[in-house]
Structure 1
Amino acid sequence: MLTVKKTVTRTVSILGRSVAPLEQLTLIKNSKIDREVKDVLRQCLITAMNFESSSKDSLDKSKTLVRKSGDSCEITSRSAAFTAASAMKLKKWNDVDDMLRLSTHSPPVITSSIRIRSLAEQSKLSEALSELEKVLMFEEEVFSTSNYSVSDEALDSLCQAIKSASQSTDEMKRFRNLQRLVTKYDRRTSQTIEDLLYTPIHVEKSEPETEPIDETFVKSKKFQDFVKQIPYMKDKATELK
């Protein structure tokens, strides 16, 4: 039986809520995807598990992984975003900033929401409001409108921070105006930051696959007649008999 090789493209997905990160690690380990891709997928799942543990030790491990891989694609950026969110839980604000700088390939809805909530919790109201303004200025070049929005969780955190601050009348007016605009232009989402972090990532992979060739057809008169119409194949026609 003759065979011919062809390339088949398949999609691998990670994160989501249907399968736990630990189980996904096993699936990735047993998959046939490239080693480099497998490594960054594994890293992303580990940072997701570390995010769930909320410990300083887990945060340190995630930071090491993220700094080692850098900011090269959406997968590594999601790892950095998970780590930024882990740092936010522990109020490690410098780490939040460092990790967000390594998450430039993440959809802005993730990084903007983390940044706004982080600034709000630090009572940096002016900076948080400026970040909220940026949400309205994003251009939809790569991601859809929903990816250029902000989580209600971040908005609620900022609103509460403004209410808790003294002499914050001007900040509240500015916030209410921006809140109306992000609502009007569909730039807000009810998804929490955690929900956004677990949004599935789809990775396409190409695999060689063999396909059998019908030898009967190759030796048929119809195929031989076809070959004879090709000048440089005429001398080869008899070899197929």
Structure 2
Amino acid sequence: MKKILVIDDEAAIRDLVELVLKRENYQVKTAENGVTGLMEIGAFHPDLVLLDLMLPDYSGYDLCREIVKKSTIPVIMLSAKNETIDKVLGLELGAEDYLTKPFDNRELLARIKVVLRRYEPSDRIKNDDSDPIVCEELEINPETKRVLKGGNLISLTAKEYKILETLSKRPLKIFTRDELLEIIWGYDYLGDSRSVDMTIMRLRKKLEDDSENPKYVKTIYGFGYQFGGDTE
């Protein structure tokens, strides 16, 4: 059973969503504010978080940023705000999807299933080999989702890791921005290719000795991105 955490300050929303999810055999925990939500993430270990944008103690944007920075748990944002800029900001901060209140329960369930499917072991990367990928000091373990550099663990967000794994499993292939958007964000993503560039920029700062002259995640000008170096 997949576990879902609902963080929302409206009791009626929490109760309704919990009822709908339990009918679909999800395990559900709820939290009425950001502090409690963070505690539940550590105790409940959810597979997905439904996060309200307007909380009494936290900005939903800040909480989303904190969740994706510290874990690989996907986040779907819930909000009464229907402006495109609000949706794009939430997605660019790391949310997997954005659903406007009031929402149809069937749409909520469909979006949850799509996001959870992206995080299954059979994700849309074509190479299913789970052996570690080694390139110079870098070791990428597709089974544990851990990345080591020189033996030291590097903390990556879910999207940073998925981009790195996607590129490194096919080191001779040049991935266009549109291909990475479809693989990592999904075909219905509301943002644009700048999200790929921004995520890769953050990834390089964590991986590279010199992010201006990368040796792992390389830009192939006019085409896209490629994993650099030979794997062993």
TM-score by length of 2: 0.32
Larger C-alpha radius of gyration, 1 or 2?
1
Identify, as 1 or 2, the structure richer in strand. 2
TM-score by length of 1: 0.31
Identify, as 1 or 2, the structure richer in helix. 1
